[in-house]
């Protein structure tokens, strides 16, 4: 499980928002990777997650992203708790 603090104005970068002009959310990128990269080594998934997080301007640590990569690799659910600021 990960935790992130996010400005409520930036929420559309994390989760899908029909009113957002940002483009695909991090959640959408994560789901795509979860579908296409299941069973692959976490080290192969990590750069794609980092790219998606950087594109969404989200402050995930390397440890957060590695936890996500392991969950994707294993096909496990991943829970992210967020605090809106």
Q: Who has greater pLDDT, 62 or 80?
A: 62
Hey, what are 16's tokens? Answer: 């899908």
pLDDT band at 74 (very low <50, low <70, confident <90, very high): very high
CA 75/CA 84 separation, integer angstroms: 28
Cα-based angle 66, 35, 28 (whole degrees, multiple of 5): 75
Task: Provide the domain count of the chain.
Answer: 1
The pTM of this model reads: 0.83
pLDDT beyond 70 at 1: no
Domain interval for residue 13: 2-84
Residue whose token pair is 């998934």: 45
Q: Give 41's DSSP letter.
A: -
Q: Who has greater pLDDT, 18 or 5?
A: 5
pLDDT beyond 80 at 42: yes
């Amino acid at each position: 499980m990960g935790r992130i603090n996010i400005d409520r104005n930036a929420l559309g970068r994390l989760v899908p928002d029909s009113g957002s002009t940002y483009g695909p959310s991090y959640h959408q990128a994560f789901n795509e990777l979860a579908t296409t990269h299941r069973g692959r080594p976490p080290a192969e998934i990590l750069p794609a997650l980092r790219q998606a997080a950087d594109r969404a301007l989200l402050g995930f640590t390397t440890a957060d992203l590695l936890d996500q990569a392991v969950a994707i690799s294993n096909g496990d659910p991943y829970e992210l708790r967020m605090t809106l600021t």
